[in-house]
Amino acid sequence: MKKEPLLKASGITVSFYTIDGTSRVLNNVRLEINEGEVVGLVGETGSGKSVMAKLILGILPIPPARVISGEILFKGYDLLKASPDKREVLKEKMAYIPQDPTASLNPVFPIGTIFIDSIIWKQSGRSKSKFFLNRYIKKNRKEAAELAISLLKRVEIADPDKILYKYPFQLSGGMRQRVLLAMALIGSPELLIADEPTTALDVTIQKRILQLLQQKVKEENLSSLYITHDLGVARLLCDRIYVMYAGTIMESGDTKSLLENPYHPYTKGLIRAIPKLTGEDFDGIPGQAPNYLEFPPGCRFQARCLEKISLCARKEPELIEVEIGRFIACHHYQAR
Partner 1 sequence: MNHILLKTQNLCKYFVSRRWRFLNLKPEVIAVKAVDQCNLDVKQGEILAIVGESGSGKTTLGQCISRIIDPTAGKIWFGDRDITNIQGKELKELRQEIQMVFQDPGSSLNPRHCIEDIIALPMKIHFNLFGKKLKERVKELMSMVELPIELISRYPHALSGGQKQRVGIARALSLNPKLLVLDEPTSALDVSVQAKILHLLKSLQNKLGLTYIMITHNLSIVKNFSNRVVVMYLGRILEMASTNELFSFPLHPYTQALLSATPVIKEEEKKFIPSEIILEGEIPSPINTPKTCAFLSRCKVKKSSCFDRYDLKLIEVKPGHWTQCPHISN
Which stretches of the chain bind partner 1, using CB under 8 A?
44-45, 172-175, 202-208, 211, 229-233, 235-236, 256, 259-260, 269-279, 282-285, 288-289
Q: Closer CB to partner 1, residue 38 or residue 94? A: 38
Task: Answer for the pair 11, 32: CB distance below 8 angstroms, yes or no.
Answer: no
Tell me whether strands 77-78 and 191-195 are parallel, antiparallel or unpaired: unpaired
d(CA 306, CA 285): 9
Closest CA to 181 of 151, 149, 141, 147: 151
Q: Shortest distance, CB of residue 260 to partner 1, whole angstroms? A: 6
Q: Shortest distance, CB of residue 171 to partner 1, whole angstroms? A: 9
Q: Closer CB to partner 1, residue 68 or residue 210? A: 210
Q: Closer CB to partner 1, residue 193 or residue 234? A: 234
Instruction: Give the HSE-up count for residue 205: Cα atoms under 13 Å, Cβ half-sphere.
Output: 13
Q: Shortest distance, CB of residue 128 to partner 1, whole angstroms? A: 37
157, burial (CB in 10 Å: exposed 0-12, middle 13-18, buried 19+): buried
Q: Closer CB to partner 1, residue 1 or residue 158? A: 158
- Burial string for 23-41 (b: 16+ CB within 10 Å, else e) reads bbbbbbbbbbbbeebbbbb
C-alpha distances in Å from residue 322, one per residue of 239, 317, 319, 325, 336: 18, 13, 9, 8, 11
Q: Shortest distance, CB of residue 237 to partner 1, whole angstroms? A: 10
Q: Closer CB to partner 1, residue 233 or residue 299? A: 233
Q: Shortest distance, CB of residue 234 to partner 1, whole angstroms? A: 9
Q: Closer CB to partner 1, residue 125 or residue 287? A: 287
Residue length of the chain: 336
Tell me whether strands 240-245 and 38-42 are parallel, antiparallel or unpaired: parallel
Determine the number of helices (DSSP H) and then strands (DSSP E) in the chain. Answer: 13, 12
Q: Shortest distance, CB of residue 158 to partner 1, whole angstroms? A: 9
Q: Closer CB to partner 1, residue 70 or residue 290? A: 290
Q: Shortest distance, CB of residue 321 to partner 1, whole angstroms? A: 24
